Structure 1
Amino acid sequence: MVARKLLLKRQTWAAAEPDKEAKRIGLGCGPDDLAVYQGATAPLPSGIPTYTVEILNVSPSGCSLSDVHLACGWFSSARLINPHLFRRLAYDDCLVNDGQPILPAQSLSFQYANSFQYPLSVSYVTCN
């Protein structure tokens, strides 16, 4: 009977939006299926450090992930970032890929420039 209770239990993965609920396709589909990596790259000619971010759908069950939001603080960049790829909506809420699905094994990457590296982590995702 434990399995039945687990199926009936609903989970949300929205820290900033607790009333939003993620759609599940299978066990394990959720924010852990999205990997966010970043590292330092060559600085701008002005000397401002730059960082490359890679966002990768690592879902083992083949889920597409959409409406992806990252916790990003007051994220800003001295280097222009395509707003369809990554943009800050509000404090600690950045939207990835304009909310469109990130397919299984698909990765997105961009570079930003700032005097320090922003910690980025998944705060919300919808499983398709």
Structure 2
Amino acid sequence: ENAYVRLFNKIQKLMPRINIVTLNYDTLIEQAIASVGYPVDYNGTGEGVTVLKPHGSSNFLPRMPNGCNISGNVMVGCGTFFDGFPPDAVATNQEVVQWCNDPRNSDLSPALSMYEKGKRVVVNSS
């Protein structure tokens, strides 16, 4: 049990009415919400605890269109990026690992913001 789980257990009656905004890429908050019995709602639809992650998340995975394959690329420069792949927010670490192990995603990474020009981009190494 971590600090998030303890917090959410204490405010359990308020959970359906709260919104959480975090800049963290990890999914510890989402795991804690699920452990106290609530679904996570990334879209603010009211169907769970709303979690907003403006910097992205390690579980926001770009969805490749059927038949599209991007692999073997070398990208140079800060202006190089892919745009237009809608992300799927997966719920489990196993889904992230499965996505990373899919050869079609070898040159992609989860949707994370690049807030510093010189920040190193880590891509899937499979």
TM-score normalised by L of structure 2: 0.25
Judging by fraction of residues, say which structure has more helix: 2
TM-score normalised by L of structure 1: 0.25
Judging by fraction of residues, say which structure has more strand: 1
